[in-house]
Amino acid sequence: MDKKRKSVFSSHRGDSILTRAKKNHIDHSSNTAPLQGFLSDTEFANDVQNIFNLVDKIIATSEDSVVKPSPVILKATKDFRQALRHASTSSKPTTNICHDRDMPTSLSSSSSLPQLPRIIDEELERAVFTHPGVSKDPKTSYDRLEVLGDAYIELIATKLIWDKFQQIPSGRISQIREILVKNETLAEYTTQYGIDKRASVPHDYSSQPKRWIKTKGDIFEAYVAAVVLSHPNGYDIAEKWLSQLWSPKLATIEESHAPSRAKEELAKKIMGKGVKLKYVDERKPLQHEGGMQTFFIGVYLTGWGWSNKHLGSGQGSNKTIAGNKAAQQALKNDGLIKDIVASKLMHGTDKP
């Protein structure tokens, strides 16, 4: 969605916030105690978050924006952000809103996670982390955003599964999608990214496991919606991010949901009276941490003029999956299969 927004450098509201922020930084540069008290006060939590949002936006857009701040202002902005961050990490905040925006929005809590996209629009960002029980206004909480985010996530997941598993029926698509979009999965990502630490929720929510999982899932959905809405190419950004995020789960699902009729199809093409197809272990299973194993199976043909002819190999987390993949590989060898079928016809289906 292409949305035109005023430059932060021409915003009177933004200028006033930055002016107040700079004044606070100057007044307390020699004594951090008043600033720490300011950060600890719940009444000013939203103002602090506004300042962080504005400062980050100025720094992030300073190089690409047509309207640029002067070097002096830019340096002062960076110095102020550093000072405020230092003060916030040494204080004891009384809210569950994380003031250090750089940690959860630019870095992954795990090296296996793709980078978390930023939300450019500060109003959307505040709404993402505000529970409807904290703000009754649906425009200032994630009440509406999580509904839109849920729709985007469903669509992106469906298209991803459609492209990756092109031979499965619609019912299987729905089953795999549920694994990707269920609250437990989204809540897991919320925790891994540390998004939940930035949320402002009723004080008793985190102590109720089922409700907390649902809440974290809603926050993740709202975050996706805000990413889409706050960038001109937000949908593409969200799609790329989620595709990378879901990749490990899909890799596991791909094994367990591989087409199960490959063996049957191979047998139908080449079997006959006295003909044998053998699925054998080609090597010892590979042992992994946690008790997991990888099996290696090969499929071999005896008949129609061949003796123990290798047709294909496969590997998987169990022998069924590995054997199925071996049959799939054999079916992909069009030249060999055509030769076997031709030999079968020449010999006659009842005479191997």
What is the sign of the dihedral through the CA atoms of 44, 46, 50 and 52? positive
Which pLDDT score, from 0 to 100, does residue 3 have? Answer: 38
Distance CA 95, CA 44 (A): 10
**How many structural domains does the chain have?**
3
Does the pTM of the predicted model rise above 0.75?
A: no
Say if residue 48 is in the same domain as residue 105: no
47 with 24: CB under 8 angstroms? no
Q: Which portions of the chain are predicted below pLDDT 50?
A: 1-43, 64, 88-110, 350-352
Say if residue 188 is in the same domain as residue 281: no
Say if residue 170 is in the same domain as residue 154: yes
Distance CA 247, CA 189 (A): 13
Say if residue 242 is in the same domain as residue 272: no
Within 10 angstroms of residue 80's Cβ, the number of other Cβ atoms is 19
Q: Nearest Cα to 262, choosing from 317, 321, 316?
A: 321
Report which residue type is found at 266: L
Residue 197: inside a domain, yes or no?
yes
Which pLDDT score, from 0 to 100, does residue 31 have? Answer: 38
Residue 90: inside a domain, yes or no?
yes
Say if residue 61 is in the same domain as residue 207: no
Which pLDDT score, from 0 to 100, does residue 292 have? Answer: 65
Q: Which residues pair with 281 in a beta bridge?
A: 297
Which of residues 43, 65, 96 is at a domain's end?
Answer: 96
CA atoms within 13 A on the CB side of 182: 10
* CATH number of 127's domain: 1.10.1520.10
327 with 263: CB under 8 angstroms? yes
Residue 129: inside a domain, yes or no?
yes
Which structure tokens are listed for 326? 């071996």
Residue 55: inside a domain, yes or no?
yes
Say if residue 149 is in the same domain as residue 181: yes
272: region left, alpha or beta (phi > 0 left; psi from -120 to 50 alpha): beta
Which pLDDT score, from 0 to 100, does residue 69 have? Answer: 67
Q: Nearest Cα to 116, choosing from 246, 225, 227, 221?
A: 227
Tell me the residue range of the domain where 3 lies. Answer: 1-96
* CATH number of 310's domain: 3.30.160.20
Residue 309: inside a domain, yes or no?
yes
Say if residue 183 is in the same domain as residue 53: no
**DSSP string of 28-50, one letter each residue:** TTT--HHHHHHHH-GGGHHHHHH
**DSSP string of 115-156, one letter each residue:** PPPP---HHHHHHHTB-TTT---TTSSSTTHHHHHHHHHHHH
Residue 42: inside a domain, yes or no?
yes
Say if residue 241 is in the same domain as residue 144: yes
Which pLDDT score, from 0 to 100, does residue 340 have? Answer: 94
Say if residue 74 is in the same domain as residue 122: no
Which of residues 214, 233, 257 is at a domain's end?
Answer: 257
Residue 352: inside a domain, yes or no?
no
Say if residue 249 is in the same domain as residue 120: yes
DSSP state of 278: E
Residue 18: inside a domain, yes or no?
yes
Which of residues 53, 72, 96 is at a domain's end?
Answer: 96
Say if residue 129 is in the same domain as residue 146: yes
Which structure tokens are listed for 8? 């932060």
Say if residue 217 is in the same domain as residue 141: yes
